């Protein structure tokens, strides 16, 4: 009987355009769209920043060595234009209106500093909202500074190497897979959880509040099917919808990588291939299943109690933020799965997935996280059963 | 056969409900010590104004609600102790009930047939018979959401009768329907009566009751004010017509209560 209810509810759900959009269309498109925008925007920003001709305002006496060096900077360091400015106030005003991108103030006695072999106090003005301008100023000034430093070494007859007491060689023992897992591994479970929640939302409201609102629940309850079987059949569809939404977001990711070739870096691509193995996907679904049941178990009592679709939606939608916010903890590199975090719902699944991606999983912690979610999912199923069994909740 | 004895239903009110109803009471009695019988081959009416307790009574008969106290027997089955078995014998049709708009009549009737545990071959033959009787073949595979009110009413009738129930409960079945569409329901009630089924239907329209019923129970504020045959009702009338008599009985009860 559960199977009959499940099949009917699934058919009904798949004919609902709103649910199909939330369950299949949006999760499938989200990764290709986000990655396309990210890749397109970041590459165009880089190209634009590199090609941009930078106007450098120069406030000085026009005679110093430093100024001459600035004027003779090689073109390979980027296009530039030196504009003389009379005072720093005018320079700041020009920076604010974007007629200048960098402003330099060189003191009148700059050459005296050079003669005394002292550091020239150069003031650099820039607008931090203009991406890459501080870096461009550093490139120009470091080039000049290195040139002048080398001259001083020659003048002072010092071998530059004698001033370097240590040669530091760092070796990163973490694999690329671990690096991605620890630093970016939170993104994947976050998206899975967000879509798992959204995938559950519309079917939960439609199959419980919707039935009540449309007046179909009353006839269903007059059939000789026990209420718990009706609940399990309907809940099965809600959970399946959540898992389907997560699956389609994974397919979207796969499509972006394999078909649209949005990841250009071959090394990164190899690492991603190494992560997305059938074993990893199977383990991830094991973790996601109790979490999705937990989501369904939270939504169903609300949907059962609500009198209208609007009321249910107005309560469940904000809940999305409460549920998905803890998932963002996974974004922070320092937060790891331990005996405490393994007991926190949602957070534990995000962190466990991160460990899975990084390949640094500790089975006992994963077992605690999985067990916690199973326990909470069971508890929420029991709450759903109680609410669905209450006669005042099921009919308006 | 329906046997109802000392049936009562009290709902406890939460803070939200108390606010909505503008009361400080923690509970409300919707049905108060009701007793009546509905016999096979006869149509019994449950007549009362809005909020009298008709729907609550019928929901208890159909086992959606559990009574606070009292006894209900459906076709010899104790509906409180054995609700699932009682439900197998009940066909329930309400005017306010909706249908699954995204399913077709064919899919919906098959679904309900399966929920009643009927074998596929039997569902198929009963469906054929009902579709033929109600002239539903032309729209059996169209989505219910796209059907007219009359067509939907036929689907509801078909759903109610697919398991060939011995007891049929109608809760204000013609509510919101025009005369032509309501005719399908009236025909169904008469057919059920002729087939020897037990029929109970609630209404607040006296003319409808007069047209269809053999027995009548009038309720107001959850209490039974009159319970007898239509002939007895007519013979005891003090007002010039049936509607006026119904109003007189209800008003007399209000006066007594005050």
Query: In the numeric block, which tokens belong to residue B68?
Result: 């606070």
- Among B211, B207, B95, which residue's Cα sits nearest to residue B149? B95
Residues 6+ apart with CB under 8 A from B253: B220, B221, B223, B225
CATH assignment of the domain containing A95:
3.40.1710.10
Instruction: Please give the share of chain B, as a percent, with pLDDT higher than 90.
Output: 24
**Contact assignment for B64 to A15 by CB distance below 8 Å:** no
Q: Are residues A336 and A261 in the same domain?
A: yes
- For residue A183, what pLDDT is reported? 65
pLDDT exceeds cutoff 90 at A290: yes
Of B178, B37, B34, B167, nearest to B95 by C-alpha is: B178
pLDDT of residue A145: 92
Mean pLDDT of the region A215-219: 86
Put simply, the answer to whether B94 touches A16 (Cβ < 8 Å) is no
Q: What pLDDT was estimated at residue A341?
A: 86
Residues A310, A227 share a domain? yes
Looking at every residue in chain B, the average pLDDT score rounds to 87
Closest CA to A346 of A366, A321, A369, A316: A369
- Within an 8 Å CB–CB cutoff, is residue A390 touching chain B? no
* Domain tally, chain A: 2
pLDDT in tens, B96-138: 667 899 999 999 999 999 999 999 999 999 888 888 878 888 8
Question: pLDDT confidence of A184, banded at 50, 70, 90?
Answer: low
Distances in Å between the alpha carbon of B76 and those of B2, B37, B68, B80?
Answer: 8, 12, 21, 12
Mean pLDDT check: name the lowest of A238-247, A255-264, A289-298, A330-339.
A255-264
Which residue would you say has higher pLDDT here, B30 or A272?
B30
Q: What percent of chain B has pLDDT over 70?
A: 97
Residues A132 and A249 in one domain: no
Q: How far apart are CA B185 and CA B97, in angstroms?
A: 14
Q: What is the mean pLDDT of residues A56-82?
A: 83
Q: Residue A371 is part of which domain span?
A: 2-33+176-394
Residues A275 and A344 in one domain: yes
Q: At which of A129, A162, A195 does a domain end?
A: A162
Backbone angles phi, psi at B227, to 5 degrees: -150, 105
pLDDT computed for residue B241 by the predictor: 84
Q: Residue A186 has what pLDDT?
A: 72
Is residue A171 a part of any domain in this protein? no
Closest partner residue to A215 among B63, B87, B96, by Cβ? B96
> Which pLDDT score, from 0 to 100, does residue B257 have?
62
pLDDT beyond 90 at A375:
yes
Question: How would residue A356 be classed by pLDDT, with cut points 50, 70 and 90?
Answer: confident
Is A227's Cβ below 8 Å from some Cβ in B?
no
The verdict on A325 and A385 lying in the same domain is yes
The answer to the question of residue A102 being in a domain is: yes
- CA atoms of B14 and B16, how far apart (whole Å): 5
Q: Which residues, numbered 178 to 217 in chain A, qualify as contacts with chain B under a Cβ-Cβ cut-off of 8 Å?
A: 214-216
By C-alpha distance, the chain A residue nearest B112 is A223
Domain-embedded: residue A61: yes
Residues of A in contact with B99 (CB under 8 A): 216
Closest by Cα among B71, B38, B51 to B11: B51
Quote the tokens at residue A259.
Answer: 């078909």
Q: Could A16 and B114 be called an inter-chain contact, meaning their C-beta atoms sit closer than 8 Å?
A: no
CB A24, CB A248: distance < 8 Å = yes
If asked whether residues A281 and A321 sit together in one domain, one would say: yes
Tell me what the pLDDT averaged over chain A comes to: 85
Q: For residues B28 and B51, is the Cβ–Cβ distance under 8 A? A: no
Instruction: Give the nearest chain A residue to B103 (CA atoms).
Output: A12
* pLDDT higher at A262 or A375: A375
A130 and A16 in one domain?
A: no
Chain B environment of A222 (Cβ under 8 Å): 62-64, 87, 90, 92
Is the pLDDT at A393 greater than 70, yes or no? Answer: no
Q: Supply the pLDDT for residue A395.
A: 67
Question: How big is chain B, counted in residues?
Answer: 258
A-chain residues within 8 Å CB-CB of B66? 391
Indicate if A380 and A234 belong to the same structural domain: yes
pLDDT of res. B137: 87
* Statement to judge: residues A72 and A8 lie in one domain: no
Give mean pLDDT, residues B41-66.
89
Interacting residues of A385 by C-beta distance below 8 A, sequence separation 6+: A227, A228, A231
Residue A185: is its pLDDT beyond 80?
no
Q: How confident is the model at residue B247 (pLDDT cuts 50, 70, 90)?
A: confident
Average pLDDT over residues A95-112: 88
Q: Are A70 and A42 spatial neighbours (Cβ–Cβ below 8 Å)?
A: no
Compute CA distances B100 → A5, A19, B120, B143, whole Å.
13, 16, 21, 9
Confidence bin at A243 (pLDDT 50/70/90): very high
- Give me the CATH code for the B38-67+85-89+165-257 domain, please: 3.40.50.300
> Is pLDDT above 90 for A377?
yes
The answer to whether residue A276 sits within a structural domain is yes
Residue A246 lies in a domain: yes
Model confidence at A178, pLDDT cuts 50, 70, 90, reads confident
- Domain shared by A235 and A266, yes or no: yes
Mean pLDDT computed over A32-54: 75
Residue B249 pLDDT exceeds 70? yes
Q: Does residue A168 lie in a domain region?
A: no
- Match 């009038």 to its residue by tokens: B218
Of the three residues A135, A162, A189, the one that is the final residue of a domain is A162
Shared domain for A281 and A333, answered yes or no, is yes
In a domain, A46, yes or no: no
Q: Which of A27-41, A91-105, B64-78, B157-171 is predicted with the least confidence, judged by mean pLDDT?
A: A27-41
Residue A272 clears pLDDT 70, i.e. is over it: yes
Do A72 and A11 lie in one domain? The reply is no
**pLDDT digits 0-9 by tens, B160-173:** 889 989 999 988 87
Instruction: Please give the pLDDT value at position B60.
Output: 92
Residue where a domain stops, chosen among A162, A196, A223: A162
- At residue B255, does pLDDT exceed 80? no
CB-based contacts of A386: which residues, under 8 Å, 6+ apart? Answer: A301
- The residue of A202, A224, A225 whose CB has the most chain B CBs within 10 angstroms, and thus the best one to mutate to test that interface, is A224
Mean pLDDT of B206-230: 87
- pLDDT score of B258: 61
Q: Which helix (H) or strand (E) holds B7?
A: strand B2-12
Note whether residue A44 is domain-resident: no
């Amino acid at each position: 009987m559960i199977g009959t209810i499940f099949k009917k509810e699934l058919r009904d759900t798949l004919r609902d355009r709103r649910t199909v959009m939330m369950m299949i269309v949006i999760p499938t498109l989200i990764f290709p769209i986000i990655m396309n925008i990210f890749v397109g925007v970041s590459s165009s920003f880089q190209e634009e920043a590199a090609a941009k001709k930078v106007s450098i305002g120069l406030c000085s006496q026009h005679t110093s060595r430093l100024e001459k060096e600035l004027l003779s900077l090689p073109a390979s360091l980027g296009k530039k234009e030196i504009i003389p400015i009379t005072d720093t106030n005018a320079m700041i005003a020009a920076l604010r209106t974007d007629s200048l991108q960098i402003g330099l103030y060189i003191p009148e006695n700059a050459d005296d500093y050079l003669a005394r072999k002292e550091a020239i106090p150069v003031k650099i003005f820039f607008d931090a909202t203009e991406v890459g301008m501080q870096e461009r100023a550093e490139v120009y000034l470091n080039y000049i500074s290195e040139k002048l430093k080398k001259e001083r070494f020659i003048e002072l007859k010092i071998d530059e190497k004698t001033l370097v007491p240590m040669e530091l060689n760092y070796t990163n023992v973490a694999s690329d897979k671990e690096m991605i897992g620890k630093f970016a591994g939170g993104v994947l479970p976050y998206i899975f959880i967000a879509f798992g929640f959204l995938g559950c939302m519309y079917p939960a409201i439609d199959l419980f509040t919707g039935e009540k609102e449309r007046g179909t629940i009353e006839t269903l309850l007059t059939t000789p099917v026990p209420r718990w079987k009706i609940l399990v059949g309907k809940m099965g569809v809600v959970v399946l919808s959540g898992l389907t939404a997560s699956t389609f977001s994974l397919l979207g990711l796969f499509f972006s990588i394999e078909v649209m070739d949005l990841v250009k870096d071959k090394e990164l691509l190899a690492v991603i291939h190494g992560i997305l193995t059938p074993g990893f996907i199977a383990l991830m679904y094991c973790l996601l299943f109790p979490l999705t049941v937990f989501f369904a178990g939270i939504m169903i009592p609300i949907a059962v109690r609500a009198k209208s679709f609007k009321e249910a939606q107005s309560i469940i939608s904000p809940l999305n933020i409460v549920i998905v916010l803890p998932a963002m903890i996974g974004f922070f590199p320092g937060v790891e799965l331990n005996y405490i975090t393994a007991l926190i719902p949602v957070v534990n699944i995000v962190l466990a997935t991160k460990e899975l991606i990084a390949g640094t999983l500790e089975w006992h912690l994963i077992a605690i996280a999985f067990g916690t979610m199973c326990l909470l999912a069971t508890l929420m199923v029991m709450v759903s059963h109680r609410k669905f069994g209450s006669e005042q909740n099921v009919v308006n | 056969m329906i046997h109802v004895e000392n049936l009562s239903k009290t709902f406890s009110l939460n803070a939200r409900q108390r606010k909505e109803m503008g009361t400080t009471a923690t509970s409300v009695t919707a049905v108060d010590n009701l007793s009546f019988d509905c016999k096979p081959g006869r149509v019994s009416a449950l007549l009362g104004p809005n909020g009298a307790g008709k729907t609550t009574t019928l929901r208890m008969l159909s086992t959606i609600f559990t009574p606070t106290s009292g006894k209900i027997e459906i076709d010899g089955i104790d509906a409180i102790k054995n609700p699932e078995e009682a439900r197998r014998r009940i066909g329930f049709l309400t005017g306010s009930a909706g249908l699954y708009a995204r399913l077709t009549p064919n899919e919906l009737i098959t679904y309900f047939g399966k929920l009643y545990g009927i074998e596929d071959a039997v569902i198929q033959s009963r469906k054929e018979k009902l579709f033929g009787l109600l002239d539903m073949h032309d729209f059996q595979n169209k989505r219910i959401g796209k059907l007219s009110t009359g067509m939907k009413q036929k689907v509801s009738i078909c759903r109610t009768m697919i398991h060939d129930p011995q007891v049929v409960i109608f809760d204000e079945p013609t509510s919101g329907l025009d005369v032509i569409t309501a005719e399908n329901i009236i025909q169904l009630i008469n057919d059920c009566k002729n087939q020897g089924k037990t029929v109970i239907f609630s209404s607040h329209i006296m003319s409808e009751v007069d047209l269809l019923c053999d027995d009548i129970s009038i309720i107001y504020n959850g209490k039974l004010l009159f319970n007898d045959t239509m002939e007895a009702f007519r013979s005891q009338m003090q007002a010039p017509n049936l509607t006026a008599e119904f109003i007189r009985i209800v008003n007399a009860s209000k006066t007594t209560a005050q």
